């Protein structure tokens, strides 16, 4: 037995463990959030609330400094713990950055970070903006500083006017670019920020999708004056010295400063509104500009732009250009696919032979799938008004001239070199396609069509053969059944003839002799014996006649069914009264089913006369909609069905009826009681062969 003190001590320990577990569970559930009934008092408290809990409208009272007012609809605040925002009736366009506010309201999920649905906003004092947090592009892309006041340095790449009187400054941060959204319209002075190194202080934000995911970060500022220029751009975009095309993005001990470079080259091709292609000596260059007017091959241009790495080689982005001279249009480099895949001809004008695999005509662009040296590549051509209609069949051998664009590169090599995996050919006009040979008549399409027709015919022939085989098999089975049936009928008729010519004739002779003997026998006992023998012989004659009838009568005319049953009843009845009734059209009974109906009726009547000692026998045939029903009833002595089979040893009448019923697809039912007669019922569906 434990002492009372030990029991109390154990109870206290259990209580303490339970409390500890509850506290741990509450801590786990509350981690990253706050208790529902407590007021959220810091920006961090709000940021930790899940969107699902923020929907419940948790109470908020926060004091912070206004960092940005977005068109008077959304106000962003920041306190010592982080940034948040609020909306609501209390939002006012009179609020300015630097105001210290006390905001009361309830939480709502927001698009990315939970915010405040404000009920009351109280202005406390005017003060400075928070000290900005220095961030990198990766910090902004991670989204953890969203709605905080941040600082970022980069080089201006483009200044664009956007709807709603806003301006977008595209800022290059290393090899990446980020947008700075400015809440004021663009003017010409803003273009001075292009190619300038600047420092931007603003609100970290981003574009959000419907899954609450940050698609792309950006920075929001109120005015362009908040962009600090650290290193101004050159006054003239073309005042830098020329750089050869093959020198772009090469190794430099001091690295790449991210500013513009100036190049000069001969135009080989251009895409309206998209890009132009230059050649300097044997190198090609792709230039992407905001607006490209139609230039002609042979135009000499100067280009000032920002070099970046494309799929395989350097590209000039956000470029400006000017035409400085005119020369002969450059000749295409005649080459092969194998040389193209080395990558040295990227962005250059080339010419090679290929076979058309597929021609794709479009409303604004034509596409070609070409093959050369077991390599498949694409070619495309912009449609222009007045161009000659172009259509090429698969298998046509052509020479195609256009600008090579490497689409994929291979870099996983032991020697650190890269090569092209696939490329595209940019055609300039329909004249860049020269047909060398027309496709042979047996094109892959025609061959496939012919093979399809042959296969279809083979399939139809196979189906016909299978159908014919099935029909032959069916006919063979029918013929076999007919032959077997004819053979069986012939054999039955032979046996019937033999039986009739032997045993039945002998019984007739014996019956005649007994008829002659009876009048001459005077002794009563002998006369009775002869009389009994004469009756026995008469019964044997009847049974022999029925046997011969059964052998010959395998086919029964349904219309004569009543007549045949009545004839059988007359032959075997004697003093027994047999009545017959037919309901329905006997002609609807199939011939194959009429035979078992006749034989079962004959056997049932014979049993009533021979064994049941019946006085009255009734026969009913009902031809119903889907079945035929035969009922033979007598008033004989009957028997007890519960004591076993009514079949006596050596007698096979009932067994024969059951076998006939089963073969006909029907059912034989027997009902009898001692002293109350017997009823034999046969039911079979119409149309089922016996």
Residue among 74, 70, 80 at smallest CA distance from 41? 80
Residue 187 maps to a domain: yes
Residue 489's contacts (CB-CB under 8 Å, 6 or more residues apart) are: 554
**pLDDT at residue 32 tops 60:** no
Q: What is the pLDDT of residue 51?
A: 94
Report yes or no: 268 and 348 within 8 Å, Cβ to Cβ: yes
Dihedral sign (CA 57, 61, 65, 69): positive
Helix or strand or coil: residue 435? strand
Q: Distances in Å between the alpha carbon of 151 and those of 76, 84, 169, 198, 226? A: 16, 17, 15, 11, 11
Most confident of 50-54, 427-431, 437-441, 486-490: 50-54
Instruction: Tell whether 184 and 153 lie within a shared domain.
Output: yes
Q: What is the pLDDT of residue 572?
A: 67
Instruction: Tell whether 572 and 615 lie within a shared domain.
Output: yes
Q: Which two tokens stand for residue 562?
A: 């009543």
Read off the pLDDT of each residue in 634-647 and give the average, rounded to a whole number. Answer: 73
Cα-to-chain-centroid distance, residue 366: 32
Instruction: Tell whether 507 and 548 lie within a shared domain.
Output: yes
Q: Which two tokens stand for residue 475?
A: 């006919």
> Which segment of 127-131, 199-203, 558-562, 599-603 scores lowest on mean pLDDT?
558-562
- The residue ranking higher by pLDDT, 602 or 58, is 58
Q: What is the pLDDT of residue 491?
A: 72
Across 340-351, b (16+ Cβ under 10 Å) vs e yields bbebbbbbbbbb
Rounded CA separation 669/681 (Å): 5
What residues form DSSP beta bridges with 321? 303
For the chain, the average pLDDT equals 83
Q: What is the pLDDT of residue 27?
A: 46
Read off the pLDDT of each residue in 148-173 and give the average, rounded to a whole number. Answer: 90
Instruction: Tell whether 566 and 681 lie within a shared domain.
Output: yes
Residue 21 maps to a domain: no
- The residue ranking higher by pLDDT, 503 or 358, is 358
Report yes or no: 121 and 92 within 8 Å, Cβ to Cβ: yes
What residues form DSSP beta bridges with 205? 218
Grade residue 31 by pLDDT with cuts at 50, 70 and 90.
very low
Instruction: Examine the fold and report which residue of 438, 462, 479 is the final residue of a domain before the chain moves on.
Output: 438
Residue 314 maps to a domain: yes
Q: Which long-range contacts (CB under 8 A, 24 or more apart) does 44-49 make?
A: 44/81, 44/82, 45/81, 46/84, 46/107, 46/113, 46/114, 46/115, 46/116, 47/82, 47/84, 47/113, 47/114, 49/107, 49/114
Read off the pLDDT of each residue in 426-440 and give the average, rounded to a whole number. Answer: 89
Grade residue 573 by pLDDT with cuts at 50, 70 and 90.
low
pTM above 0.85, yes or no: no
Residue 547 maps to a domain: yes
Q: What is the pLDDT of residue 19?
A: 44
Residue among 47, 101, 84, 103 at smallest CA distance from 203? 84
Q: Report the alpha-carbon angle 242-244-245, nearest 5.
A: 125
Grade residue 133 by pLDDT with cuts at 50, 70 and 90.
very high
Domain count for the chain, please give it. Answer: 6
**pLDDT at residue 289 tops 70:** yes
Residue 545 maps to a domain: yes
Read off the pLDDT of each residue in 516-523 and give the average, rounded to a whole number. Answer: 74
Instruction: Tell whether 424 and 457 lie within a shared domain.
Output: no
Residue 549 maps to a domain: yes
Residue 460 maps to a domain: yes
Across 567-590, b (16+ Cβ under 10 Å) vs e yields ebbeebeeebebebeeeeebeebb
Instruction: Tell whether 431 and 457 lie within a shared domain.
Output: no
> Which segment of 129-138, 355-364, 503-512, 598-607 scores lowest on mean pLDDT?
503-512
Look up the CATH number of the domain holding residue 265. 2.40.50.140
- The residue ranking higher by pLDDT, 440 or 8, is 440
Range of the domain at 227: 133-231
Instruction: Tell whether 536 and 598 lie within a shared domain.
Output: no
Read off the pLDDT of each residue in 116-136 and give the average, rounded to a whole number. Answer: 93
**pLDDT at residue 17 tops 50:** no
Instruction: Tell whether 98 and 140 lie within a shared domain.
Output: no
Instruction: Tell whether 450 and 533 lie within a shared domain.
Output: yes
Look up the CATH number of the domain holding residue 609. 3.30.565.10
**pLDDT at residue 663 tops 90:** no
Instruction: Tell whether 141 and 211 lie within a shared domain.
Output: yes
Percent of the chain with pLDDT over 70: 83
Grade residue 412 by pLDDT with cuts at 50, 70 and 90.
low
Helix or strand or coil: residue 603? helix
**pLDDT at residue 360 tops 90:** no
pLDDT (tens digit per residue) in 291-322: 787 788 999 999 999 999 888 899 999 999 99
**pLDDT at residue 176 tops 80:** yes
Residue 7 maps to a domain: no
Instruction: Tell whether 680 and 572 lie within a shared domain.
Output: yes
Q: What is the pLDDT of residue 249?
A: 85
Instruction: Examine the fold and report which residue of 526, 554, 582 is the final residue of a domain before the chain moves on.
Output: 554
Read off the pLDDT of each residue in 142-158 and give the average, rounded to a whole number. Answer: 94
Instruction: Examine the fold and report which residue of 126, 157, 174 is the final residue of a domain before the chain moves on.
Output: 126
Instruction: Tell whether 321 and 353 lie within a shared domain.
Output: no
Q: Tell me phi and psi for residue 667, to 5 degrees.
A: -140, 135
Report yes or no: 107 and 60 within 8 Å, Cβ to Cβ: yes
Residue among 426, 268, 405, 266 at smallest CA distance from 332? 268
Report yes or no: 378 and 370 within 8 Å, Cβ to Cβ: yes
Report yes or no: 396 and 369 within 8 Å, Cβ to Cβ: no
């Amino acid at each position: 037995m434990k002492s009372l003190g030990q029991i109390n001590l154990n109870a206290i320990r259990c209580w303490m463990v339970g409390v500890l577990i509850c506290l741990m569970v509450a801590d786990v559930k509350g981690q990253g959030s706050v208790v529902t009934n407590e007021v959220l008092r810091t920006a961090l408290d709000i940021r930790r609330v899940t969107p699902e809990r923020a929907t419940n409208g948790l109470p908020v009272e926060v004091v912070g400094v206004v960092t940005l007012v977005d068109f008077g609809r959304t106000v962003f605040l920041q306190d010592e713990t982080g940034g948040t925002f609020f909306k609501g009736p209390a939002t006012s366009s009179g609020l300015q950055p630097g105001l210290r506010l006390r905001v009361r309201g309830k939480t709502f999920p927001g698009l990315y970070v939970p915010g405040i649905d404000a009920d009351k906003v109280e202005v406390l004092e005017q003060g400075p903006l928070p000290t900005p947090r220095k961030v990198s592009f990766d910090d902004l892309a991670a989204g953890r500083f969203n709605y905080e006041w941040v600082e970022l340095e980069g080089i201006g790449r483009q200044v664009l006017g956007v709807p709603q009187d806003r301006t977008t400054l595209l800022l290059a941060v290393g090899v990446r670019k980020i947008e700075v959204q400015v809440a004021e319209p663009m003017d010409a002075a803003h273009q001075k920020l292009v190619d300038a190194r600047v420092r931007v202080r603003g609100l970290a934000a981003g574009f959000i999708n419907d899954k609450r995911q940050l698609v792309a970060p950006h920075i929001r500022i109120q005015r362009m004056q908040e962009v600090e220029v650290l290193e101004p751009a050159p006054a003239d975009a073309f005042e830098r010295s020329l750089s050869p095309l093959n020198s772009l993005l090469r190794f430099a001990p001091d690295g790449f400063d991210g500013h513009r470079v100036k190049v000069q080259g001969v135009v080989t091709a251009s895409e309206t509104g998209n890009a132009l292609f230059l050649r300097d000596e044997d190198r090609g260059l792709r230039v992407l500009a905001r607006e490209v007017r139609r230039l002609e091959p042979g135009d000499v241009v100067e280009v000032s732009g920002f070099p970046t790495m494309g799929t395989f080689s350097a590209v000039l982005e956000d470029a400006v250009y000017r035409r400085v001279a005119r020369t002969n249009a450059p000749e295409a480099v005649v080459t092969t696919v194998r040389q193209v895949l080395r990558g040295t001809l990227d962005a250059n004008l080339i010419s090679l032979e290929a076979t058309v695999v597929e021609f794709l005509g479009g409303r604004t662009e034509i596409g070609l799938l070409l093959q050369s040296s077991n390599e498949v590549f694409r070619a495309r051509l912009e449609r222009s008004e007045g161009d000659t209609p172009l259509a090429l069949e698969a298998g046509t051998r052509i020479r195609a001239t256009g600008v090579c664009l490497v689409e994929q590169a291979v870099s996983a090599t032991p020697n650190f070199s890269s090569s092209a995996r696939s490329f595209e050919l940019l055609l300039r006009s329909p004249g860049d396609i020269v047909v060398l040979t027309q496709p042979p008549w047996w094109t892959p399409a025609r061959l496939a069509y012919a093979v399809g027709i042959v296969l279809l015919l083979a399939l139809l022939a196979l189906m016909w053969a299978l159908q014919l085989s099935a029909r032959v098999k069916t006919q063979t089975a029918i013929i076999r059944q007919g032959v077997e049936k004819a053979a069986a009928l012939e054999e039955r008729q032979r046996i019937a003839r033999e039986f009739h010519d032997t045993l039945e004739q002998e019984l007739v002779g014996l019956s005649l002799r007994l008829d002659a003997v009876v009048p001459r026998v005077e002794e009563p006992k002998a006369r009775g014996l002869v009389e009994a023998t004469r009756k026995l012989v008469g019964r044997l004659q009847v049974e022999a006649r029925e046997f011969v009838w059964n052998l010959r009568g395998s086919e029964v005319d349904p219309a004569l069914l009543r007549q045949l049953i009545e004839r059988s009843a007359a032959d075997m009845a004697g003093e027994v009264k047999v009545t017959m009734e037919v309901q329905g059209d006997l002609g609807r009974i199939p011939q194959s089913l009429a035979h078992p109906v006749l034989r079962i009726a004959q056997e049932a009547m014979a049993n009533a006369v021979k064994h049941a000692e019946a006085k009255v026998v009734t026969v009913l045939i009902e031809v119903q909609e889907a079945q035929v029903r035969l009922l033979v009833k007598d008033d004989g002595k009957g028997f007890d069905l519960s004591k076993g089979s009514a079949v006596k040893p050596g007698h096979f009448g009932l067994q024969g009826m059951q076998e006939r019923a089963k073969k006909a697809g029907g059912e034989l039912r027997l009902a009898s009681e001692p002293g109350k007669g017997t009823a034999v019922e046969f039911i079979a569906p119409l149309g089922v062969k016996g």
